[in-house]
Homo-oligomer: A and B are copies of this chain.
Amino acid sequence: MSTISKALGLLDLFSEAHPRLGLTDVQRMTGRDKATVHRHLTALEEIGFLEQDAGTRAYRLGPAITRLAGMRARTVAEVEMVRSVIDALSRDAGELVHISRLQGFDLVDVYHAELHDHPVRVSFDAYGLPPLFATASGKAYLAFSTSGLLDMALADPRTVQEGAARPDPHAVAAELSQIAKRGYASNRDTLRIGVSSVAIPVFDASARAFATCSIAYPTSRGGARRAADLAALLMSRGRDITEAMGGAVPPDVQTIWTPEAERAAS
């Protein structure tokens, strides 16, 4: 293990629970020698990755991190920020992965990846056009937004005229509540016969949902547990996606798949 990794790994020790750490705190958490830890801490402080409180001598995350994050925000496009995560997710799931952003009342594609070689693929030409209630992404978004947005979406004329069945507000609200509880939304042959999907929300710096990430797959490739498996995989990357885009996951959001949450929501 390189000294670089060891030193930078120290930064990950700083959290909401432990925003300030003293030398011995870090020493205990890492199990490394005190002298080593001290040298790493001071090295990180010298370049501004940490700051030391003059009074308590405790360390906290430093200004260089904020400075570099600003540089990244200015020089790296939103697409680049999520590309590697989405690509990896697509490879691991073996399915089509989408990340979309709300514009008006549509979820428009930011980036998508389909890095597998199954001969059967999901077509997504019309992605983003269906009303929010019809897609897993849309439901994931609505479930983690203020209810005001749901009312507005219900009142949107385009939503109403789309398709034959006008959604029942109570049924929609009930489903969104389940989605919020278990942490992800899903669809099975609802929008298009043969296409299923699971989706989670992506949050911005104010911890508000502003985008979604979804996995779409042919229902034919999905056995009984496929949806749950893909949901678990998707949720395990949710925090990475949100944080790569500079966002923060609200503390009350279910971020890991568990059988308990699954049952509790149904």
Contacting residue for A5 out of B46, B66, B73, CB 8 A: B46
Given contacts A8-B47, A65-B65, 8 further A-B contacts (CB under 8 A): A14-B68, A19-B76, A53-B80, A61-B75, A66-B72, A66-B244, A70-B205, A74-B248
Residue on B nearest A11 in the bound complex, by CB: B68
A75 partner residues in chain B, CB cutoff 8 A: 14-16, 19, 60-61
A243 interface residue (CB < 8 Å to B): yes
Contact A4 B40 (CB under 8 A): yes
22 A-B residue pairings within 8 Å (CB atoms): A2-B3, A4-B8, A5-B43, A11-B68, A14-B68, A14-B71, A19-B75, A51-B84, A61-B68, A61-B76, A62-B72, A63-B85, A63-B243, A65-B68, A65-B72, A66-B69, A66-B244, A66-B245, A70-B205, A70-B243, A70-B246, A70-B248
Within 8 A of B (CB), among A221-259: 240, 243-248
- Seen from chain A, the residues whose Cβ lies within 8 Å of a Cβ on chain B are 2-5, 7-9, 11, 14-16, 19, 39-40, 43-44, 46-47, 49, 51, 53-54, 60-63, 65-76, 80-81, 84-85, 87, 205, 240, 243-248
Question: Would you give the shortest CB distance from A10 to chain B, in whole angstroms?
Answer: 10
Contact A240:B63 (CB < 8 A) given known A16-B75, A40-B4: yes
Give bound CA distance, A256 to B155, whole Å: 54
Contact A3:B3 (CB < 8 A) given known A63-B244, A75-B14: yes
Contact A60 B76 (CB under 8 A): yes
Question: Would you give the shortest CB distance from A156 to chain B, in whole angstroms?
Answer: 29
Contact A69:B68 (CB < 8 A) given known A4-B3, A63-B243, A63-B244: yes
A53 partner residues in chain B, CB cutoff 8 A: 80
7 closest A-B pairs by beta carbon, nearest first, are A69-B69, A19-B75, A63-B244, A61-B72, A67-B243, A4-B43, A4-B7
Contact A66:B19 (CB < 8 A) given known A5-B47, A46-B5: no
